[in-house]
Structure 1
């Protein structure tokens, strides 16, 4: 579980992956469905699709005085370019989540934890690569506990187009189930 007083989260990938939507859903889950404070900012290049982009979310039990993420405690990387652009400065003991098919990262700073998921591959198996971001949100929810399962599901359904609920729920559940197994395996390997 993360520190509920203040948690900085950065999601990064390329335009067209739904990174901005994922950040929006994360912030909404905390603010509307858990009644916490949340700030959401986004950054992207001039390219409509394909360029690196990020969604930064700060979640807090207290008032948030500065809206920018400086050293994310949770870093989600969904493309190699995003890793190079947005993956530099992270908090001590950060949790890093990557789409293992799109990002190469074998070592992390001391004290940090790395979790890998084939999010895009899972989305392809569901029939639409566009839901890789939702697979990753399920994974993020399970691994970090930064927001609750029910809050994230509510925010998801509140944010997606009508008619896509079943596909998005399958994507979220796939990422969540995989995250539970990865978190359990990590706990077994590194008992605290």
Structure 2
């Protein structure tokens, strides 16, 4: 049997203290960081090592967690994803994904999301996934549309970065939509 956390290109795994260098390097690409959340002041190597060690020590939660997206060959980090806002009553969760700039357009995000959605829908019994994407993030907008997410709404001018305001686009996908497209 093969692990549900492993695809053809990627492996979803827990953070390790040794991942600090890869994530510090990813933070050097300001445009990518802006698309994922916000730019913060540079972090020292000591602080980044401590942060990664602390995150590696955290207890895992079945519904809200953060994982490293690692290249299957070599296990090196290429990005990360997290789940949050898990609502067990209504069966809805949100997630975020970020791929380091050197690893863009290699299929890592697509495969990582499909692995995550299979877990959340078929193992955790959620019925809907939601994602929020900034309107200037053309690559992520295209990814979500290509995967079959439905644009459900828009929060206007709610994100400021790089001297401009962006809308936040809300995407959703139900388990039935996922199963029809990706089973």
Higher-Rg structure is: 2
State the TM-score, normalizing by the size of structure 2.
0.31
More strand per residue: 2
The TM-score, its normalising length taken from structure 1, stands at 0.30
Q: Which one has a larger percent helix, Structure 1 or Structure 2?
A: 1
